[in-house]
Structure 1
Amino acid sequence: MEIERLMKAFVPYVREEQERRHPEWASLVAKVKKATSLLKHYENRTTWSGLGVVEYADWCFYPEENGDICRLSVHADLLPARTPSDRAYHNKMLQELQEILHPLQYTMSQEEHTLAILIPLSENLP
């Protein structure tokens, strides 16, 4: 049930509808879009020296069980770092993400090869 709810949240027209309904979230949405754009820049980017660090990235208005939207979420499936160069590239990407999201209040977690960033609306709205 939770997976279905989250999958629906990533549908583009659901995001567009939330953006129209809540123009007060525009500055936060812009930061989330910029962070996601950075992740997409690293998505499947293979070079002669190594593989990219992101397999897939997207964002959504994170729906609570009761349907309320209290957070924005950025999700990325990461590729495993196989070399020191891959690890350095990964660390560079994380640093750039933190710079984009500064000064927002957020939590960033990484479990195995999944990166999740949750940004609470209430703590970041003026």
Structure 2
Amino acid sequence: VTSLEDIRQLAIRTGLPPHLMAVKYHSDVVADGGLIRLSYHRIAAIAGDCGEWDRDVGRNRENLPYPNFGCAQQKNLAAMVANPTDLIVAAEETPRSSELRSFHWKKYIDPKSDESDKQKALPNSKQ
């Protein structure tokens, strides 16, 4: 890799869409080699620290939330989420199974496919 264009082509080959790349030139870079800075944005699920236990939460006649209310749940969610982008935007749906859909649709519209009839047809079933 010897030039900015080489880096650009490498990024495109590895799957980075060209419209997401931005190039900025700085006049303070020396002409003999220069400086290339690569940066990217990454979404991460990070929850703040828990541990504000400055009062007894056992007795709370006002039934008000205490300072750490929900903190452990938020930390656990942040630790478990595989793709933090899913917290912002829903993941795309996968294609449905047409075979499974057809099976259930036929079962739904067929008047003979009553579950109680199937139970009667089983051996050892009480009628």
TM-score under structure 2 length normalisation: 0.21
Structure 1 or 2: more helix by fraction: 1
Normalised TM-score (structure 1): 0.21
The answer to which structure, 1 or 2, has the higher relative contact order (CA under 8 A, 6+ apart) is 1
More strand by share: 1
